[in-house]
Each structure stands twice: as C-alpha cells, then as structure tokens.
Structure 1
C-alpha cells in the first residue's frame, strides 16, 4: 500500500466507484420486480415505459462506472507496477557483489519481470474487482432478505456446497500456482545461464545433453500449468451445476408460490427478481474464486519481491567526503576478509602504496589478489582492519566519488549491446566525446576506432562480440581512463591476448600508469618486472615484498614462481 500513496486522489475515486458499482448492480432486479408487479400487472403502459427509461439510464450509468472503474484500476496498477519495478531495480544495483555471488541471475530476472507482472494483474483486475464483488454480494443479500426471507433462504441453500467447492479449489490452485512460479524461475535461470555459456556447451558437444535437461524443466513447467488448468476445468462446471440447482429450487418453489399468491404473497415480479438475484449472487462468488487465485499468485510474487527489497546485503553509502582531488596514497591496515563467515581469504594484510607508485600483486590462483582490489573498490566490506586513501578510511568517501577515482580494468571485459560511446560513458552525460577521444589517444585506441563504421557510434553487439579481445580490452582502458583516475587497477589485463596485441596493450598501460598510483595483477611475471614493488601472496597472506631482482636473490616464493614460468616458456 505504500506504493499507492502517490496516487491517493485517484485511489479514493476508485474506492467510490467500487462502492457505487456494488450498490447499483442490485437495483436492476429490484426495479424489474417493481415494473412487473405494478405497471405490467395493472396495465400501466406509460409507467412501464418510464421505468424502462429509468432502467436504461441506470444501465448506462453502471456501464460508464464500470468502464471508469476498470480503466482506473488498470491505470493505477500500471503506475504502481512501474514504481515497484523501479524500486526493485534501484535496490538491486545497490546490493553488494556478495549477494550476486550466491543468487542465480535467472531468479533475479524472474523477480524483476515475471513476479512484478503478476502483481500488475492483482492491481488491475484482482483487488479492486474483488472488493466490488464482495460489496455487491452484501447489497444483494440485504435486498433479498428485505424482499422475501423465504425465497432468500431457499436461494442460498446451495451456498454451503459452493463455499466448500470454492475452498477446495482455492487450496489446490494456490499450490499449483506456487509450482508454476517456481517452474518459471527455474526456466529463466536455466535459459539465462546456458545462453550465456553457449560456447562451453558447444565446445564440449553437450547440445543434446543440455537439451534433455531443458526438456525436463520445460515438462515440469507444463505439468504445473496443466494442474492449474485441471482445477479450473473441474471447478467452474461444478459451480455452474450448483448455481443451476439453486435456480431450479427457486423456480420450483417460487412457481408454486405464484400459483398460491393469496397464501404466499409471491408475485411473478418477485420470482423473476430473485432469479436475477441468484444469477448475480453466484457470478461474483465464481469470479471471487478466480480473482482470489490471482490474489494468491500476487501474494506469492509480492512475498518474493518484498524479501528481495528487505535484503540488507547492500553497500553502506554513509560516506559524504568529496575532496577536490586525491593524491593516490593507499594503505591496507591489518585487513582481514572472508567471503563466507570465518573462512578468511585475506589475513592480516598490511600494505602501503605511495603516490605514483606501481605495485604488482603475484601469487597462485586463490592467493587473494583479486580480493584486494575488490575491497579497495568497496565491492565487498572487510571483516577487520581498515583501508585508507590519502590517510582517510574509504568508508568516509562518497561511494561514487571513490569509484570514479579508481580506474579498474578487468581480465574479462564486459561490453553491453550498445555503441562504443555508450559503453565508455555508461550514460554519464558529463563525459563528452572530446573526453572519450582524449582517453582513446592516451591508450592508443583511436586508430582502430576510426576504422570502424560509425566510429564511436559503432554497435559492438552483446558482450562486444563484433570486436577482437584486444579491441575490447582497449575500450575497457578508455572506459577506465575517461575519468582520469588517480589510482589505476589492472587485473590480468593482458592474460587473454596474443603477444602482438599484448605489446600494443603494454604501450597503452605504460601511458596510463604515468603519474598514477597503479596496482597490477599479472600471471605473466615478465609484464611486472619494472614495478616499484612486487607483493607475493600465498593463501591470503603476504609472503614477500620487494623489487624483481631483490626477490630473485631471496630464492623464495617469487623465485619459485619465476622458475616455473621460465620452464613453461622454454618447453
């Protein structure tokens, strides 16, 4: 309901229309009874014509009200759904990477798209319509008992059967719809993961095997939907039979009453009015059952959405510090970090990087190299210790300011299906084309961009599939350098390219690092021999610190790594 607040005025209009429709609907049988028992019975033609005009006006008013009610509830539903989806996505992009590490992307897509769309059905056709139906039932019952309590009790004699069948249907369909939502989430997860990893599927010739897995999940989805269809196909004929039985009893008893009018006081108009009442009474019950299931689906979806919105795994953005600039001094002060509870991947890291200094992080896979740069960017929060830039804890900096001053180039370059310009600026209107070209010149990428059709307007397609690995890497350099960061982080930036491209990229890196604090992660030790300081990590601990020649003389971890790589190179 908090999402309704911005639209309170229209909401109150919707409430009024809901009440009005509930009141107006039972008036038609009442006026029909009046017409038959007075005007028709007494042969008053003009009175009948007048009542027909009143009924026509009532029908027009009710139709206009129904139109306004349907349109307004649908309009509100779409406005609210837009706001919920925006809030949900806004929340998602503030969550820590830890959250995405443990949550399948397909499930998040389901929450953001399918579950929110289900809520749209609740707002547009479920909630308001159900309230209207309930009000209509109340008014119909009141008029029926006011008109004739005997016919009312007879008309309602089949209601217990209807309520029992509706309750059984409700419980069955609730389980079925929950299964459907889970099946949809499983489908989304499977399809998303396997389309993203299609190259692995084809490399290992697993197409048939993966297709069989898909067929199984698809079959589960079909079975879940068929169960819901089965319950519908049973419930509505049963409801129709119960409704017909109620009308049959009413006609049988009412016809006898009309024949014995003197004793019963039942008129033809009253009997016909009650037949109309019973039809009007059972229709909302059937509709409520159907809409109740829409509501149940909405409850399942909303609980998932609210659970996601309630997730507190977000980055604290309490920092306000936005100085005119930073120098680029970095200090890790006895930092401990674990992705999972107490399984520390970094242990007591104490490290100081001076302004303009280039340091290299080396070590075996899993040594903790990437974790260090993840913490520097506050992608994750440390467990113990502190990280400072220019003597200030990074938590005190505004998060956007902090990340704009740390240029990051990752090993796996991610490009969106968009133009080169938009992949570099990421929609930031403060970044001009001139700034982009300047950064392109800095890293030596202008030549290849000039050769592309449309230049900066060239669409790289999904994940940059129309570019080479080296070209994608150069674009990532431009993206990092366009903000002129004081700290530069290169995570395996040349590990996926050939030697010729590596040479070109090394030239770009040399230009990028000039005058900046640089942190370089590289498996190829040949690329970091000129670093001011090399940090050797093993199982999350710093084992050695020094220059290339110094570490070779120590004949320790670094020397061992160097020998192993040299053997690979020779072989």
Structure 2
C-alpha cells in the first residue's frame, strides 16, 4: 500500500478556484437572516460615508463662500451625529460577523470530523495522523478571516467603489475617466500575480502539513527516539522540514506583497492623471474649488476600497489552498459504506461463511493478500488462525468486521451477505481486540464503558473481574475512577491489555475477534486471563490469532494460513498427527522454549 510520509508533499486533485469559493460560501448562506441584518447596517454606514464629501463640498461652496457660520455649524453637527452612527454600525457589524464566521468554522470542522470517522482504514493507513490533524485544525482556522471579510470587506468596499464611480461620473465624466485610466493595468497585473501566488500558497500548506506529521510522529515515539539516542537525527530531519517550510513561506509572502505594490503604483498614477487632466486639460476655472476637493476625497475613497479588495483577493489566494485541502477530504468517498437499501442485521447466532473470498488492497489490485479462501464456522466455535507474519490472518478478521470489502467472493454471517446489511448493525454484535491496546484519556471506567456506552457500573466491574483486571484496578489510587494519561502510559503494557480486554467483553459480542490479544501479557497473567475468558467465549463464535501456539491448543479448529490460503485445518491433535506445517511450527516453538 502506497504511504505518504512526512517527507513527501500530499497530492490532491486540482479544482477551479471559483468552484471552491462558491462551495465555501454556501456555508454562509445558511445564516441568511443574520447576514441580511449585517448588510442593512453596512448599507447605512456606506451611505453615511458617501455623504461626507458632499458635506465638505456644501460647506465650502455654500456656507463658507457666503460666510454662513450658523449653517456651517448646523451642517457640522449633523456630520458629527451621522459619523457617530457610522462608527457604532461598523463596530456592530464586525462583532456580528466575527460570531458568524466562528459558527461557520465550527460547522465545517464538525462536518470534516464526522466525515473522517466514516473513511476506511486505507485512508488512515496511507498518510500520517499529523497531516490529517493539519487539515482539521490549521486549514480550517485559515478560513476565518476570509469568511468574515467576505461580508464586512467585500460587499461594503464593492458597493463603495460602485457608489464612488457613480457620483464621480455624475459630477464630471472627464475627471472620473482620468482617475480610472489605470484600472485595466491593475486588473491585468493582479491576474498574473494570483496565478503564481496561489501555487506558492498550495506548496506552503503542504510543507506545513509535513511539519505537523513529523512532530506528531516524533512526540508519539519519543521513548524510542531517546532510547536509541536519535535526538540529533530527529533534529536534523526537523531542520530540513523547517527550511522547506521557511522557503515556501518566503516565496508565498513575496508573491502576496506584489499585490500591495501594484495597488500603490496604480493609485499614484491615477492621482497624477486626475490632477494633470483636471488642471492642464479641463482647466481649474471650469471646476469649483469645492468640487475639486470633493473629487480628491472621492479619489481616496475609490482607491482605499480598491486596496482593501486587493488585500481581500490576496487573502482568498492565500487561504483558498486551505479550503481546497478541506474539500479534498470531504470529497474522499469511504471505501466501506452501506449501499442503498441495506437492511439491519438481526440478532445473530454467530455462523460465519467465507465463499471463495479473495482480497487485494485498492492501490495494489494485482497483489492478492487472500486467494480463494472458503470455510464455514458454526455458531459458538472457536477458530484459531496461525501462520507466518503477512500470511493473511489479520486480513481475514478485518474482512469479517468489514473494515475492508472483499475483492472477490462473499462473506455471510448467519446467512446474511455482509454487503446486504448495515455496517453499524454488524459491528454492534462484534467484539474486536487487537494487539494495539489503545486507551483514551479519561477514567478506567470510561475506557471500559467505551465497549458499550450504556453499560452499568455493575456490568463494567463484572467484565473487569472476568478478565482478572479487577484486582489491579482496585489497587489504583481511585479504583475505577482513576484518571488515565494519554494512551494509558501510566499503566504497564499488561494492565493496558487487560483493560482493553474488559472493554471488549462488556460489549457482550456474538462474534469475538482476538488478534494477538495476549501477546504482551506475562505467563502468570495469561493463565488468569485464559481462565476468565473461557466462560465468556462459551456460546460465542470466536476467532483467535496467536503466535504462541500454547494459547490456542483448546480451539475447536485451527487454520494454518500461508500465502493467502488455508493450507491446513483441524484440531490441535489432528494437525500434530498430520505432521505438516502446524507440526513444524509447534516443534520449532517447543525446541526454542526447551533450549531457553
């Protein structure tokens, strides 16, 4: 299976910017009423802002020219009141949009998290956890300012530009055209810059993701790093990633800075053309002083929102890469999902049938992990799977749990094809315990109850007693209410395994899967566990994978798996008498134990 490590940039499909933007803005449309209120407030503030130059023109051309001090004072008072209203409105819209954008981010993050939970194991197998975290946290956070500014900057500044152009054209077409002559050059420059800048920011996001993946991996494996004195090597790798990250950031920022330089250049040229044409071509005599002052103000009012719009466009180019990475995951279809019209799997007895089952990973379809496997298991049977590493043992139990879909053939439980029943109704009746005994932060009780969230305290204690975990739990500081650290690092490996076993047992499954479930338990503890689970295994169909053959001697049948096929099947005594592969495995282990 192809794996993307922290050393490699992630690959994703190229999608048009417009499609990504429209999809992103659909989240805002879910809050139409609140956006409408913000827009009304903005309309009022923009209108007041538009009136200000007209107030200046009125003051100069009328009241000051006619020495009307009373009228000038009244006009000034009206201007103060209007601008106080405008300031209050701007503050209110900023607060409202900040809350709204945070709500949208929450919605996107929840949707992303829920979708990731539905994705198949192959998704998680093919990339580091840190790269997934980077999308859930960093990429989602990058959208906040863009979403907020879409309403608080884009709309008011766009309306301001339209309003200013309208007023300028109405007052003097020649002066307005003079001020706008540089716009086509600015648009062409922005088009070129954004193409380069967007690619640079895409690279930056990927480099940030690489760092997240590396840090997560190193922190998770810090015991190994320190045990093998690999701190310097780890630091060297981190320095390489930081250098790539810094270089991608510098390139992206340099591209982004070109937007500001372009705006300043075209603004200055537009101002020069306004004064040059106004003075040299039209003539000062044809334009009133107040009108010229108003035009100068409108020129600033025109280019200021243009600069804001350019900055917003720059922000879109900067953060659109984050949105693309989010939608890339949301567009990833789960390989394992219910097909249309599936039914619920009723309470089962536990029979399992493999009918000519073959399996290959989706990215390596030519390499079959299982090849034409067939068998039938009766309810309540205990089946042991043995064989060399990579033979296909874990693949068999993963297919029963439907963590992967079969490539060929059929798997049936109580006669129901797994593809015809819902995944949830299947897994509700299964208990799976692997050699990776993952424990969550929380209490001991919480971790056991994870097997069945409605389990009572009495059922939790009963499950713990059944696997002989109750004794060591009661010796902890607060017993079942003891808080565990991340991954249960405060417990021994054996204790973590016993808790994981109790968690599986409390779910009361009809089909039980134990994949190297006792590999980390010492011999004394294993004896206690084996005694405890015998009663729980009774009446349940169980699949047990174990390298220690002594632990599966009492299985009803033993399947010897090799090269993706069942090469031997029978009881412990039958397989020893056949003197085949199982006999050789057993003798090899026996000799190693006696020589030790």
Q: TM-score range by the shorter chain?
A: over 0.9
SS at match of 2:442: coil
Aligned to 1:337: 359
Cα offset for 1:569?
Answer: 1.8
Aligned to 2:12: none
Could you tell me whether the CA contact under 8 Å between 2:168 and 2:298 is conserved in 1?
yes
In the alignment, does 2:223 pair up with 1:199? yes
Aligned to 1:307: 328
- Which whole-Å CA distance do the structure 2 matches of 1:221 and 1:46 have between them? 64
Could you tell me whether the CA contact under 8 Å between 1:489 and 1:519 is conserved in 2?
yes
In the alignment, does 2:87 pair up with 1:66? no
SS at match of 1:178: helix
- Which whole-Å CA distance do the structure 2 matches of 1:202 and 1:519 have between them? 37
Aligned to 2:16: none
Cα offset for 1:230?
Answer: 3.4
SS at match of 2:76: helix
- Which whole-Å CA distance do the structure 2 matches of 1:314 and 1:124 have between them? 35
Structure 1 pair 257–26 and aligned structure 2 pair: CA distance change class (3 A): farther
Could you tell me whether the CA contact under 8 Å between 1:535 and 1:545 is conserved in 2?
yes
- Which whole-Å CA distance do the structure 2 matches of 1:18 and 1:279 have between them? 19
Gaps of 5+ in 1: none
- Which whole-Å CA distance do the structure 2 matches of 1:90 and 1:511 have between them? 37
- What is the root-mean-square deviation of aligned Cα atoms in Å? 2.4
- Which whole-Å CA distance do the structure 1 matches of 2:565 and 2:91 have between them? 70
**Comparing 132-141 with 509-518, which one deviates more in the overlay?**
509-518
- Which whole-Å CA distance do the structure 2 matches of 1:495 and 1:170 have between them? 56
Picking from 231, 243, 257, the partner of 1:219 is 243
Cα offset for 1:550?
Answer: 0.8
Aligned to 1:538: 562
TM-score normalised to structure 1 length: 0.93
State how 1:513-552 maps to structure 2 within 5 Å. 513-552=537-576
**Comparing 270-279 with 163-172, which one deviates more in the overlay?**
163-172
Cα offset for 1:62?
Answer: 2.3
In the alignment, does 2:326 pair up with 1:289? no
SS at match of 1:331: strand
SS at match of 1:488: strand
State how 1:32-431 maps to structure 2 within 5 Å. 32-126=56-150, 128-160=152-184, 162-163=186-187, 165-231=189-255, 235-236=259-260, 239-240=263-264, 242-244=266-268, 246-247=270-271, 250=274, 263-264=285-286, 266-318=287-339, 319-323=342-346, 325-339=347-361, 340-426=364-450, 429-431=453-455
Could you tell me whether the CA contact under 8 Å between 2:451 and 2:506 is conserved in 1?
no
- Which whole-Å CA distance do the structure 2 matches of 1:191 and 1:242 have between them? 44
Cα offset for 1:335?
Answer: 1.3
Question: For this pair of structures, how many residues does the alignment match?
Answer: 567
Cα offset for 1:148?
Answer: 1.7
SS at match of 1:320: coil
**Comparing 472-481 with 557-566, which one deviates more in the overlay?**
557-566
Cα offset for 1:71?
Answer: 2.3
Could you tell me whether the CA contact under 8 Å between 1:334 and 1:348 is conserved in 2?
yes
- Which whole-Å CA distance do the structure 1 matches of 2:458 and 2:464 have between them? 10
Structure 1 pair 163–355 and aligned structure 2 pair: CA distance change class (3 A): closer
Cα offset for 1:203?
Answer: 3.3
Structure 1 pair 4–156 and aligned structure 2 pair: CA distance change class (3 A): closer
TM-score normalised to structure 2 length: 0.89
Could you tell me whether the CA contact under 8 Å between 2:259 and 2:311 is conserved in 1?
no
Query: What do the CA deviations read for 1:147-176 (whole angstroms, capped 9, x no partner)?
Result: 122322333344455445544543443233
- Which whole-Å CA distance do the structure 1 matches of 2:308 and 2:166 have between them? 20
Could you tell me whether the CA contact under 8 Å between 1:443 and 1:512 is conserved in 2?
no
- Which whole-Å CA distance do the structure 2 matches of 1:536 and 1:358 have between them? 14
- Which whole-Å CA distance do the structure 1 matches of 2:69 and 2:228 have between them? 86
Cα offset for 1:231?
Answer: 4.3
Gaps of 5+ in 2: 1-24
Cα offset for 1:4?
Answer: 3.2
Cα offset for 1:362?
Answer: 0.6
Query: What do the CA deviations read for 1:402-431 (whole angstroms, capped 9, x no partner)?
Result: 212111111120111222122222396412
- Which whole-Å CA distance do the structure 2 matches of 1:123 and 1:199 have between them? 42
Picking from 476, 481, 484, the partner of 1:457 is 481
Could you tell me whether the CA contact under 8 Å between 2:393 and 2:545 is conserved in 1?
yes
Cα offset for 1:315?
Answer: 2.4
Aligned to 1:501: 525
- Which whole-Å CA distance do the structure 2 matches of 1:271 and 1:349 have between them? 89
Could you tell me whether the CA contact under 8 Å between 2:451 and 2:507 is conserved in 1?
no
Could you tell me whether the CA contact under 8 Å between 2:429 and 2:509 is conserved in 1?
yes
